[in-house]
Structure 1
Amino acid sequence: MPQDPLNRYPRPPFAKQKQSMPGATDQMDPRPDHGEKTYRGNGRLEGCATIVTGADSGIGRAVAIAFAREGADVAISYYSEHEEAKETARLVEEAGRKALVIAGDLKKQEECNALVERTIEEFGKLDVLVNNAAHQASFAKFEDISAEEWDVTFRTNIYSMFYLCQAAVPRMKPGSSIVNSSSVNATDPSASLLAYATTKGAIANFTNGLAEMIAERGIRVNAVAPGPIWTPFIPSTLGEDHVANFGANTPLGRPGQPAELAATYVLLACDESSYTTGALYEVTGGKSMI
């Protein structure tokens, strides 16, 4: 039965709330929906071996749940949010699939290489790589963005994607796919998120270029551009007033939930989209990227 997208999930204003980075799912009000009770799989990734970075919470957790319920084993890559990652693993295993939990600093090439190697050792192959790990911080003044902050943002959001693709592509077979997380900020940057927004534009460009470069190998590369999504990023990186009204400026009048993106990642990873590569799929609540 179709549901009204305007009222399917909570609408702002929300309670004012602030967390320290990187934020915790259980402390959010309302709690994000990752599809724990709603996502129904149809075997579209049956037997696939997958990596999802940033899979401890938010979009990454929703993708991991969806992939598992579609029949995939999932390597859950995360930085240091151990309890959050354990919960994602529990949900993957609850779906009857293998969960490989791997903590690591993807800013470092050797840790990206190790992630790919451990996944292949455990699962025997790698069919889908989802580059979703990200760092963001907000700044009111341009002068307040330090060189260190700029470097951390680019190394987390851009370098890790490059390192992981370089490690994965030679090991992937025709029919494999890569899905990158870009953002509405790629073309409509929030001024306070300058470093983050700049990387998201680069991710969109990288996706298109890599797709063309490796098309002859039968490996597809696409990206998803989320709009405002209700994840721990929000109360841990934005001001309380911004959090209280988060997503209100979209045509749908609310933020998206991680669960509302999962099906797009599944589509881009599975054979139903075999003629789709180099694409940027917008999931923005109607917020224009033009």
Structure 2
Amino acid sequence: MNTGLEGKIVLVTEAVRNFGGITALGFAKEGADLLLASAATDEMLEQSAHQASEMGAKVVTVQCDPSDQGQVDALVQKCLSEFGRIDVLLNNPLLPSEARSLEDISFDQWREKMDLEITGSFQVCQAVLPQMVRQEWGRIISYGGLAGFRGSDAMTSASELGIIGLTRGIAREYGKYHITANCICPGGVEGAGQSHPHSFPPGERDPLPRWGTPDEVAFLAVCLASEDAGYVTGQCLLPNGGKYFL
């Protein structure tokens, strides 16, 4: 597949969490340049940047809390000053949290999760869209989770459904500018997700009774960002081994 991503600029939020890092490397492999953001600059972020650089990508790293509007604005301006454009946003907002009964969730816990996952997603998308409109081209890909479809604890289910709703709203509003918006909602993927309370481990009755791999998830993000995926928008891809059929 010719993805057409060579020379494209990809902004990745929370590039060290969940599938952010492995997906960034998938874009680098296709010849894209990267701005990798994380709320905490640490060894994992620098390791991802180093690996992508070894593949030939130009990589810039930025510390950014997506729930902070000022930091998000600075992030986008940094990307534009370094690269001059933003072609792809990989929005990677999910914060692992303990599954709790609704009556046991404090308001502060609710607000923290919604601020990071929903408000953060809104602010990052809102900040990059004007540039994509000017370019008349863009791809927004968000990582969600299977709890938004199968259900889990109320807080996780609400947040993951919010990401889906935001994605579909952007798809409907901005398609006229050749901007697509899609989300990927994995379930039962190996790695950090195996110990996650909402990971949906494989069962004997699953059509594919095994753990998925992060590379299989990252592949879908690269496909959605490609030139050939220009007619795909407002969709949720569910790599889950058949645990849930949409």
Question: In the alignment, does 2:23 pair up with 1:63?
Answer: yes
Partner of 1:72: 32
Which of 281, 286, 290 is residue 237 of structure 2 equivalent to?
Answer: 281
Secondary structure, counterpart of 1:209 in structure 2: helix
Residue 128 of structure 1 contacts residue 177 of structure 1 at CA under 8 Å; is this kept in 2?
Answer: yes
Alpha-carbon shift at residue 103 of structure 1 (Å): 1.5
CA RMSD of aligned residues (A): 2.0
Secondary structure, counterpart of 1:134 in structure 2: coil
Residue 50 of structure 1 contacts residue 126 of structure 1 at CA under 8 Å; is this kept in 2?
Answer: yes
Partner of 2:226: 270
- Give the partner amino acid of 1:115: L
Question: In the alignment, does 2:219 pair up with 1:257?
Answer: no
Question: In the alignment, does 2:64 pair up with 1:104?
Answer: yes
Question: In the alignment, does 2:100 pair up with 1:145?
Answer: no
TM-score (norm 1): 0.78
The unaligned stretches of length 5 or more in structure 1 are: 1-40
Between structures 1 and 2, the one with greater helix share:
2
Secondary structure, counterpart of 2:238 in structure 1: strand
The unaligned stretches of length 5 or more in structure 2 are: none
Q: Deviations over 1:102-135 (max 9, x none)?
A: 1121111111111111111111110000111221
Residue 43 of structure 1 contacts residue 69 of structure 1 at CA under 8 Å; is this kept in 2?
Answer: no
C-alpha separation in 1, matches of 2:2 and 2:36: 21
Which of 143, 161, 165 is residue 125 of structure 2 equivalent to?
Answer: 165
Count of aligned residue pairs for this structure pair: 243
Residue 79 of structure 1 contacts residue 105 of structure 1 at CA under 8 Å; is this kept in 2?
Answer: yes
Higher RCO structure (Cα 8 Å, ≥6 apart): 1
C-alpha separation in 2, matches of 1:110 and 1:233: 31
Q: Percent identity?
A: 30
Query: Residues 233 and 112 of structure 1: is their aligned pair in 2 closer, same or farther, counting only changes over 3 Å?
Result: farther
Which of 185, 190, 214 is residue 147 of structure 2 equivalent to?
Answer: 185
Residue 3 of structure 2 contacts residue 226 of structure 2 at CA under 8 Å; is this kept in 1?
Answer: no
Partner of 1:216: 176
C-alpha separation in 2, matches of 1:71 and 1:119: 17
Alpha-carbon shift at residue 152 of structure 1 (Å): 1.0
Alpha-carbon shift at residue 52 of structure 1 (Å): 1.0
